[in-house]
């Protein structure tokens, strides 16, 4: 492991080929920021909530981070190094912790255990404090006139920081994939009616998660070989790609619920009676009861996506929400195989 990071200290001069690499990745990252910002504001009907603001902060953290390294790597602010260092550490904190908060903010869609949610949030907060603060101090030191004292500690601690953030995102992504897999496997009637769509969604979630992990692995490899200037530019690019993949996941989840509502009339016509929604068995046996429970659980899932994420849905999703509110107001909806046991009314957007 090399701790001699080329380009990490004050007044570092980069070879010309490296500047080409840096400018290319930073330019693409900034382009992705513009694209993500436009997509974010065009997609979200309600511009509020944890998901929206986490996504916004993470996206513009990339821009701040890129601007800081443009000033540093191309020596555009040699007389005021603390200015670009401030942009770098601020953008890095927004970009990394913002990305984790994006993952956390949609975790409650399928994880109803408050203990798990609190543990994940606690992990994000603790990591942000333990990792960002020392790195910030060391980064300022490495870009000060006393950089010789700070260059090695900064290089060592930054490797530790990147490794810990890698572990953090792997944990959150693993929980999400596991819970999604468990939810789809537990709903047998849905598997019969929407098996191809559900399996495709599951495969895509797993593939995207593996791509994200592979991208994070690339960051770690570059970090440990001492290519500071290259890996910092690649970080910005990779985090912008990860946010685009995150939007892809979200769109697939919404699309799955919309297709389900169109192809399954029992979900949108309110055929399930109040007694069935209340968990009481009607004429038709336990299989019908389980069938309606599954439908109700996915209606709740649709309501959560619309309410908590504030995404503009088409007329089919609106119909789902309207019928669910009319037929299930004040009634409890049991989610067989999961831990969703809350009234539908509380999740419907008025």
For residue 111, pLDDT over 50 is answered with yes
Local structure of 152: helix, strand or coil: helix
175: alpha, beta or left, given left = phi > 0 and alpha = psi -120 to 50? alpha
Place of tokens 């984790």: 100
The mean pLDDT value for 239-257 works out to: 81
Q: What is the pLDDT of residue 46?
A: 76
The mean pLDDT value for 85-96 works out to: 95
pTM: 0.74
C-beta of residue 109 within 8 angstroms of C-beta of residue 45: no
For residue 125, pLDDT over 60 is answered with yes
Q: Any bridge partners for residue 332, and if so which?
A: 343
CB atoms within 10 A of CB 291: 22
Q: Using CA atoms, how far apart are residues 20 and 157, in angstroms rounded to an integer?
A: 27
Q: Using CA atoms, how far apart are residues 193 and 196, in angstroms rounded to an integer?
A: 8
Q: Using CA atoms, how far apart are residues 348 and 350, in angstroms rounded to an integer?
A: 6
Average pLDDT value for the chain: 73
For residue 1, pLDDT over 60 is answered with no
Q: Using CA atoms, how far apart are residues 138 and 143, in angstroms rounded to an integer?
A: 9
For residue 78, pLDDT over 80 is answered with no
Q: Using CA atoms, how far apart are residues 255 and 304, in angstroms rounded to an integer?
A: 14
Q: Using CA atoms, how far apart are residues 140 and 222, in angstroms rounded to an integer?
A: 22
284 is written with which tokens? Answer: 């038709």
The mean pLDDT value for 261-272 works out to: 48
Minimum mean pLDDT range among 104-108, 151-155, 263-267, 274-278: 274-278
| pLDDT (tens digit per residue) in 48-75 | 888 889 999 999 999 999 999 999 888 8
Report H helices in the chain. 16-43, 50-73, 81-105, 114-127, 133-142, 147-186, 188-224, 228-263, 265-268, 274-277, 285-309, 315-328
Q: Which residue has the higher pLDDT, 167 or 252?
A: 167
């Amino acid at each position: 492991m090399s701790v001699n990071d080329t380009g990490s200290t004050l007044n570092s001069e980069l070879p010309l080929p490296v500047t080409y690499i840096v400018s290319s990745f930073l330019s693409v990252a900034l382009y992705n920021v513009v694209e993500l910002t436009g997509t974010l504001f065009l997609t979200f009907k309600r511009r509020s909530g944890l998901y929206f603001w986490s996504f916004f902060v993470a996206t513009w953290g990339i821009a701040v981070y890129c601007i800081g390294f443009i000033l540093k790597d191309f020596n555009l602010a040699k007389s005021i190094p603390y200015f670009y260092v401030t942009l770098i550490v601020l953008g890095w904190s927004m970009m990394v912790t913002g990305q984790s908060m994006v993952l956390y903010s949609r975790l409650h869609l399928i994880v109803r255990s408050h203990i798990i949610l609190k543990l994940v949030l606690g992990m994000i907060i603790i990591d942000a404090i333990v990792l960002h603060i020392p790195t910030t101090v060391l980064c300022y030191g490495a870009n000060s006139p006393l950089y010789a004292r700070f260059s090695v500690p900064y290089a060592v601690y930054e490797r530790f920081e990147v490794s810990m953030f890698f572990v953090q995102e792997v944990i959150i992504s693993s929980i999400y994939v596991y819970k999604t897999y468990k939810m789809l496997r537990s709903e047998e009637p849905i598997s019969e009616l929407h098996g191809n769509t559900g399996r495709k969604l599951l495969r895509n979630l797993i593939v995207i998660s593996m791509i994200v992990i592979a991208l994070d692995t690339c960051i770690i490899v570059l970090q440990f070989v001492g290519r500071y200037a290259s890996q910092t530019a690649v970080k910005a690019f990779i985090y912008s790609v990860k946010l685009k993949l995150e939007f892809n996941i979200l769109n697939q989840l919404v699309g799955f619920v919309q297709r389900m509502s169109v192809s399954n009339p029992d979900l949108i016509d309110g055929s399930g009676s109040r007694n069935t929604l209340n968990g009481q068995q009607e004429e038709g046996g336990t299989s019908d009861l389980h069938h309606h429970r599954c439908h109700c659980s996915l209606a709740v899932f649709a309501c959560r996506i619309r309410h908590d994420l504030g995404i503009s849905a088409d007329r089919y999703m609106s119909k789902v929400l309207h019928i669910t509110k009319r037929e299930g107001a004040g009634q409890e909806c049991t989610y067989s195989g999961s831990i969703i046991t809350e009234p539908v009314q509380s999740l419907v957007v008025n």
